């Protein structure tokens, strides 16, 4: 039953999300401008109007999926989406504050009734509650202004040592740079991409691996972006796999464009031994396959077949767009798996557990960062680009660099 519900939920996720955002937008707007008592049909009509607008902006001609650069009118689209995303958090704040004030008043009334207090704890005046929630709305708004401006411009280069059993001495110190989820298209400027390419090249890595979602949508102008992307350099080559967005953009079309414009080696369910410093580092690159748009496979027979081609004990790196396959890779003894897909949630909040709470936690337990199982490692990269909106909170764009070490 749970699996059937999950499948139904993910199949209808975007419609449900648009509906929830619409309710959030109406509630935020209604409360900000007075919170007057209105008949239920007015609330229903307001939420329905926002749902229609959301559907228009996401699916209709106002979707903003422009070929080369978004025209000036797309600023309206971005501001609207900024309001939509911020409304979700504002609505959550309104619900939590309402529950908190109701609980406070309920406790006070109960204590007064039992004679534990000479007077009831004063009921929160509407003005107090309103002031608290509107102040919260302001904080949410400013946070998203940061996310759409400075937050989405931040870039983190993270260096990670990876101990590998039986690593040949020649490969000790080899550095592999990983980028993922570049999403070339409406939410990436050519100048921005050129800057990222220069930053990656300055790292002077031995290999560069791109773990999928290079192209954002079928409308992306690959003839504009890929000649810039072709500037990526590494001593022993640049290697890539396809992600789910590359497939929805047309896998064969993307592969042909990569061949036409770049010297990047595209691995599509392939094993490739790469000569490095007189030894061999084996790469396995899997094509993206998933249960749906969100969840990846947890087992893949193609991985078994490709892993069998690798000599026993040889060092191997698996490139797989979605991180869900990691337990299978670890069971096969693959020492390092590089993935992306999640963007680290793009919007995240610090959490008491030490890991960041973010939306991608709902689709995979391998949402961001480094994981270990039986001496094998997975790294889920937070992505170099963005999807849907140019917004990032507590989740900088990322270039990860892995330094191989003998264990």
pLDDT of residue 35 exceeding 90, the answer is no
Q: In this structure, are residues 93 and 140 in contact, taking their beta carbons and an 8 Å threshold?
A: yes
Q: Residue 61 contacts by C-beta under 8 Å, 6 or more apart in sequence? A: none
Q: What is the pLDDT of residue 107?
A: 65
pLDDT of residue 291 exceeding 80, the answer is no
Structure tokens at 255: 């592969």
pLDDT interval class at 60 (50, 70, 90):
low
For the stretch 249-290, pLDDT in tens is: 999 999 999 999 999 999 999 999 999 999 999 999 999 987
Give the whole-angstrom CA distance, residue 366 versus residue 75: 34
Q: What is the pLDDT of residue 352?
A: 77
Q: What is the pLDDT of residue 118?
A: 45
Q: What is the pLDDT of residue 167?
A: 95
pLDDT interval class at 113 (50, 70, 90):
low
SS3 content of the chain, % helix, strand, coil (to 5): 45, 20, 35
Q: Which residue do the tokens 């078994």 mark?
A: 304
Q: What is the pLDDT of residue 122?
A: 42
Q: In this structure, are residues 184 and 226 in contact, taking their beta carbons and an 8 Å threshold?
A: yes
For the stretch 143-181, pLDDT in tens is: 988 998 899 999 999 999 999 999 999 999 999 999 999
Q: What is the pLDDT of residue 70?
A: 43
pLDDT of residue 247 exceeding 90, the answer is yes
Q: Where are the domains of the chain?
A: 2-151, 157-406
The closest of 153, 150, 25 to 82, measured between CA atoms, is 25
CB atoms within 10 A of CB 288: 23
Q: In this structure, are residues 310 and 284 in contact, taking their beta carbons and an 8 Å threshold?
A: yes
Q: Average pLDDT, stretch 67-79?
A: 57
DSSP codes, 116-177: SSSSPPPPPPHHHHHHHHHHHHHHHHHHHHHIIIIIHH-EEEEEEEEEETT--GGGTT-EEE
Superfamily (CATH H level) for 157-406: Metallo-dependent phosphatases (3.60.21.10)
Q: Average pLDDT, stretch 56-64?
A: 59
Give the whole-angstrom CA distance, residue 131 versus residue 158: 42
Q: What is the pLDDT of residue 159?
A: 97
CB atoms within 10 A of CB 250: 14
- The three-class DSSP label of residue 112 is helix
CA angle 307, 311, 316 (to 5 degrees): 55
Q: What is the pLDDT of residue 14?
A: 76
DSSP codes, 313-341: T--EEEE-SSGGGHHHHHHTT-SEEEE-S
Question: What's the Cα-to-Cα distance from 172 to each of 168, 283, 370, rounded to whole Å?
Answer: 7, 16, 20
Give the neighbor-by-neighbor strand order of the sheet with 265-266. Answer: 155-164, 397-406, 175-179, 207-211, 238-241, 265-266
Strand partners, 279: 276
Strand partners, 317: 283, 336
Q: Residue 329 contacts by C-beta under 8 Å, 6 or more apart in sequence? A: 303, 318, 320, 337, 376, 378
pLDDT interval class at 117 (50, 70, 90):
very low
For the stretch 359-399, pLDDT in tens is: 888 888 999 999 999 999 999 999 999 987 888 999 999 99
Distance of CA 368 to the CA centre of its chain: 9
pLDDT interval class at 12 (50, 70, 90):
confident
Q: Average pLDDT, stretch 339-346?
A: 94
Most confident of 74-88, 193-207, 355-369, 382-396: 193-207
Give the whole-angstrom CA distance, residue 150 versus residue 364: 28
pLDDT interval class at 221 (50, 70, 90):
very high
Q: What is the pLDDT of residue 123?
A: 42
């Amino acid at each position: 039953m749970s699996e059937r519900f999950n499948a139904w939920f993910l199949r209808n996720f975007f419609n449900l999300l648009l509906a929830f955002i619409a309710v959030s937008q109406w509630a935020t707007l209604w409360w900000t401008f007075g919170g007057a008592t209105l008949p239920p049909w007015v609330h229903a009509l307001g939420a329905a109007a926002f749902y229609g607008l959301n559907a228009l902006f996401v699916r209709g001609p106002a979707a903003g999926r422009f070929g080369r650069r978004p025209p000036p009118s797309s600023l309206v689209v971005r501001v609207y989406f900024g309001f939509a995303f911020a409304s979700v958090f504002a609505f959550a704040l309104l619900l939590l504050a309402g529950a908190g004030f109701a609980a406070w008043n309920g406790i006070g009334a109960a204590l007064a009734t039992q004679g534990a207090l000479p007077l009831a704890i004063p009921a929160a005046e509407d003005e107090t509650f309103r002031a608290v929630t509107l102040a919260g709305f302001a904080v949410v708004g400013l946070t998203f202004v940061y996310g759409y401006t400075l937050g989405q411009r931040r870039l983190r280069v993270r260096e990670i040592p990876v101990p590998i059993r039986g690593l040949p001495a020649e490969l000790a110190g080899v550095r592999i740079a990983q980028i993922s989820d570049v999403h070339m298209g409406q939410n990436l400027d050519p100048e921005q991409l050129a800057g990222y390419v220069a930053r990656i090249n300055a790292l002077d890595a031995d290999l560069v691996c791109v773990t999928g979602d290079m192209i954002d949508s079928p409308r992306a102008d690959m003839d504009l972006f890929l000649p810039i992307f072709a500037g990526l350099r590494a001593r022993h080559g640049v290697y890539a796999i396809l992600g789910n967005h590359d497939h929805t953009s047309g896998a064969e079309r993307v592969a042909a464009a990569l061949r036409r414009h770049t010297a990047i080696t595209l691995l599509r369910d392939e094993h490739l031994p790469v000569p490095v410093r007189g030894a061999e580092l084996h790469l396995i690159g899997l094509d993206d396959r998933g249960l749906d748009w969100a969840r990846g496979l947890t087992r893949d027979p193609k991985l078994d077949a490709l892993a069998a081609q690798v000599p026993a004990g040889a060092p191997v790196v698996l490139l797989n767009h979605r991180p869900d396959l990691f337990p299978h890779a670890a069971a096969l003894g693959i020492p390092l798996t590089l993935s992306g897909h999640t963007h680290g949630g793009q919007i995240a909040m610090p959490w008491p557990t030490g890991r960041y709470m973010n939306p991608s936690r709902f689709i995979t337990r391998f949402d961001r960062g480094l994981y270990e199982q039986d001496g094998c490692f997975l790294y889920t990269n937070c992505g170099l680009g963005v999807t849907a909106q140019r917004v990032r909170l507590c989740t900088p764009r990322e270039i990860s660099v892995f330094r191989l070490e003998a264990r």
